[in-house]
Structure 1
């Protein structure tokens, strides 16, 4: 039987912690510390507590490692791993199976499922500008989104309007202004820092994305899913493996129950996962959207370990994880290389 190491970040408890499910509070009290009201973010704490409670209950022979504290359990290299991977991972986390889905833009089999025109370009100002202008010309009235793929979240997305302008933020806190897009205005020093790196930026046709939804894929198959409703956590799941609640426009606060779309997404996610079976590595999530014609498409892929949970069915997720331990086992031959489950940083603790 494979034992499991459960990694938990001791998130500050929220002021309404006593309203959280009793099972969450009991698991936190047993493994992390006293459950008393604090100043923490309610969603952050509930997600950590949900991971801990479900993992400790469902995974066989569980051992909990709390970040920043001493760990006295079995050798982590002998245990399958579950939990959030921090920016500075443990050395054993760096030997976990590598995931390539953070560079979903480089997976050819995914392109037909995106539902929009996309073009990968090197880190070169002229190349980015030419690609953006070409995208605007090919899709009049649509606009363009430019994403820096080489380093996740290093640069904000550039949303370019059909007239070729974008909103540039003032790094000193001044009022943002709308000006003609140029790669140097968007990327600044990073253009020189990463000059010549291939496939560094993704230039995309801008499209309306409705009813955003996240599917968890474990062992190459969708396990469960939930709408991208920011205020929901697994504590809000009502027993559905594919939670039907979602917002047509993300964060607009108008939550709808759409089991018809959830069923559509379930079938589509199986189709996508099957198409990626030989190209996408490790556990991952698929973020989905519906276009104006009611057709499902893929927004992006992300590593599973650090993805937000929303109103997810944790029993379905952890059961799938339990049944696929090989995706979560350290590999000593990796020798502490970056890339574990999508983590790129080379620093470790």
Structure 2
């Protein structure tokens, strides 16, 4: 079977290289697909390079690979742009995800993405998250008529313990609070409010409406869909990849970094950070002090992963975002699905090894029948349901990659629960 790889944009148009290592990467990919890659200064470096680093590791593992076009998965698989010969493995989908993928995946016995991938979006239900958040939290319902809400399913034990939005905001007053939509994940912008000690809970809904306007109507009445949280100091933001319940690799959340920023095969967490995300101010302490911080955060990530494994055994693949508080103690920011999360400088050698091992051992899935011959060529039946047709026509080709954690623009218009097995 095959590794299915989807690039972001045109694989033949690479961004301007930053180093000789980038030029070597372009050469390796060109040699294996049999077509020369050219440089286009208009291509976004991080968007193009991150998924290609995963492709490079699949090549080094000697696996059969199909490089896919930007089409729905069945059609893409039957009309690959390039085929790289290699040894068979469990079907794996890596690279950029499309919003249509959840509708297409039931037709494939994929070992990756993990069957639990979208469950990470329900992290606010986890008691482990609440214990390790390092800040005051309150779950709130989306304003509006509960009868208009979708049929949300509780995934984890924390469930739907929630209050009205204004009540949740008042419980954290006085001070600065952040209101974040956690169901569906990141579909509305992150909102910050400064509340005084006399804050009136009845004003909360109106403040929210002023900011989101009519956009909230898509999620009207959704229970426990908003996470109201105390705004606290967060430094040294770090992303860890957990696969098979094990912490595989970590790296600072530095927007300009990719796996090309740390190419050592055995690096699990480079001791390099921005002090505050997107500030440009780097941690310039002695390297040994920074390595002690890396060890502290690595051990903390393992502690959290082990607690999640005990609480939610079915959630064994996810991204864990961690930071340090004002006292230098680690806390959990959030969880994200692995398949659509940005890599930063995470070690793709270790990550791809873990993904292949996970896929080989993943339970086989029951697949829906389809005729591959119907999907050869540019035209053919899709026959989506009306709601699928709306979703597929609305979403972008490349999904959010987890880097724009604070504002997700259009976001998901369809509940994550529709995507789960």
TM over 0.5: yes
Describe the SS at the equivalent of 1:246. Answer: coil
Distance 1:329 1:34 in 2: 39
- Checking the alignment, whether the CA contact within 8 Å between 2:7 and 2:51 is kept in structure 1 is yes
Shift of 1:213: 0.3
Tell me what 1:167 maps to. Answer: none
Shift of 1:88: 2.3
Tell me what 2:55 maps to. Answer: 52
Tell me what 2:328 maps to. Answer: 294
Describe the SS at the equivalent of 2:164. Answer: helix
Give unpaired runs (5+ residues) of structure 1.
Answer: 165-178
Describe the SS at the equivalent of 2:172. Answer: helix
Tell me what 1:82 maps to. Answer: 94
Describe the SS at the equivalent of 2:351. Answer: helix
1:115 is the counterpart of 2:134? yes
Describe the SS at the equivalent of 2:333. Answer: strand
Give unpaired runs (5+ residues) of structure 2.
Answer: 145-162, 198-203, 370-383, 389-401, 403-411
For residues 170-229 of structure 1, the C-alpha deviation after alignment (integer angstroms, 9 at most, x for no partner) is: xxxxxxxxx997121133224444222111111111111110000010110000110111
Distance 1:119 1:23 in 2: 49
Aligned residues: CA RMSD? 3.4
1:225 is the counterpart of 2:250? yes
Distance 2:3 2:362 in 1: 9
Shift of 1:301: 0.3
Shift of 1:313: 1.4
Distance 1:123 1:85 in 2: 28
| Structure 1 stretch displaced more, 18-27 or 253-262 | 18-27
Q: 1:129 aligns with which of 153, 156, 166?
A: 166
Q: How does 1:66-215 map to 2 (within 5 A)?
A: 66-68=69-71, 70-71=79-80, 79-89=91-101, 91-94=103-106, 97-99=115-117, 100-124=119-143, 127-136=164-173, 140-141=174-175, 143-163=176-196, 182-215=207-240
1:31 is the counterpart of 2:49? no
1:251 is the counterpart of 2:251? no
Higher fraction of strand: 1
Distance 1:55 1:232 in 2: 21
Shift of 1:46: 1.4
1:64 is the counterpart of 2:82? no
Describe the SS at the equivalent of 2:273. Answer: strand
Figure out how many residues of one structure are paired with residues of the other and give that number.
Answer: 324
Shift of 1:253: 1.4
Distance 1:333 1:227 in 2: 38
Tell me what 1:318 maps to. Answer: 352
Distance 1:60 1:35 in 2: 21
Pair 1:232–1:328, CA change in 2 (3 A): farther
| Structure 1 stretch displaced more, 245-254 or 19-28 | 19-28
Pair 1:238–1:78, CA change in 2 (3 A): closer
Distance 1:194 1:42 in 2: 35
- Checking the alignment, whether the CA contact within 8 Å between 1:46 and 1:233 is kept in structure 2 is yes
Describe the SS at the equivalent of 2:128. Answer: helix
Shift of 1:9: 3.2
Distance 1:241 1:18 in 2: 22
Pair 1:78–1:261, CA change in 2 (3 A): closer
Runs in 1 of length 4+ with deviation above 4 angstroms? 17-20, 326-330, 333-338
- Checking the alignment, whether the CA contact within 8 Å between 1:78 and 1:330 is kept in structure 2 is no
Tell me what 1:267 maps to. Answer: 299
Q: 1:216 aligns with which of 241, 249, 252?
A: 241
Describe the SS at the equivalent of 1:253. Answer: coil
